[in-house]
Amino acid sequence: MYKILANDGIDKSAKVALEELGYFVDANHYDGAELDDMIKKVDCIVIRSATKIRKPLIDEAIKGGQLKLIIRAGVGIDNIDHVYAKEQGLIVRNTPNSSSDAVAELAIGHMFSLARHIYIANVTMRQGKWNKKQYAGIELNGKTLGLVGFGRIAQSVAKKAMALGMKIIYFDISNQDGILENCKLVSKEELLTKSDFMSLHIPFIKDLGPFLTKKDFDMMKDGMYIVNTARGGTIDEAALIEALDNGKVMAAAVDVFEEEPTKNETLFTHDKVSLTPHIGAATAEAQARIGLETIEVIKEVLS
Task: Output the pLDDT for position 76.
Answer: 83
Task: Output the pLDDT for position 96.
Answer: 87
Active site residue 260: yes
Q: 104 and 226: one domain?
A: yes
Q: 256 and 143: one domain?
A: yes
CA distance 100 to 74: 9
Q: 19 and 128: one domain?
A: no
Q: 114 and 241: one domain?
A: yes
pLDDT per residue over 85-137, tens digit each? Answer: 999 999 999 998 899 999 999 999 999 999 999 999 999 999 999 999 999 99
Read off the pLDDT of each residue in 257-286 and give the average, rounded to a whole number.
96
What domain count does the chain have? 2
Rg (CA), the chain: 21
Active site residue 72: no
Choice among 87, 189, 260, 300 that is catalytic: 260
Active site residue 29: no
Nearest CA among 38, 51, 57 for reference residue 10: 51
Cα 174 to Cα 121, 177, 227, distances in angstroms: 40, 9, 22
Q: 92 and 192: one domain?
A: no
DSSP summary character for residue 44 = E
Q: 287 and 246: one domain?
A: no
Domain of residue 226, CATH code: 3.40.50.720
Q: What percent of the chain has pLDDT over 70?
A: 100
Specify the 3-state DSSP secondary structure of 229. coil
Nearest CA among 228, 73, 256 for reference residue 149: 228
Task: Output the pLDDT for position 211.
Answer: 98
Choice among 93, 110, 117, 278 that is catalytic: 278
Q: 137 and 84: one domain?
A: no
pLDDT of residue 275 exceeding 90, the answer is yes
All residues at 6 or more sequence positions from 130 whose CB lies less than 8 Å from its CB, including other chains: none
| CA terminus-to-terminus distance, the chain | 11
pLDDT per residue over 30-87, tens digit each? Answer: 999 999 999 999 999 999 989 999 999 999 999 999 999 999 998 889 899 999 999 9
Q: 7 and 94: one domain?
A: yes
Specify the 3-state DSSP secondary structure of 166. coil
Q: 34 and 139: one domain?
A: no
Average per-residue pLDDT in the chain? Answer: 96
Choice among 231, 258, 270, 289 that is catalytic: 231
Q: 264 and 184: one domain?
A: yes
Residues in a beta bridge with 71: 46, 93
Answer whether 0.75 is exceeded by the pTM.
yes
Q: 28 and 80: one domain?
A: yes
Q: 146 and 251: one domain?
A: yes
pLDDT per residue over 198-210, tens digit each? Answer: 999 999 988 899 9
Range of the domain at 51: 3-98+283-302
For the chain, where are the alpha helices, taking DSSP H only? Answer: 12-20, 32-38, 55-64, 82-87, 100-115, 118-126, 152-163, 188-194, 214-219, 237-245, 265-268, 284-302
pLDDT of residue 303 exceeding 90, the answer is no
Specify the 3-state DSSP secondary structure of 90. coil
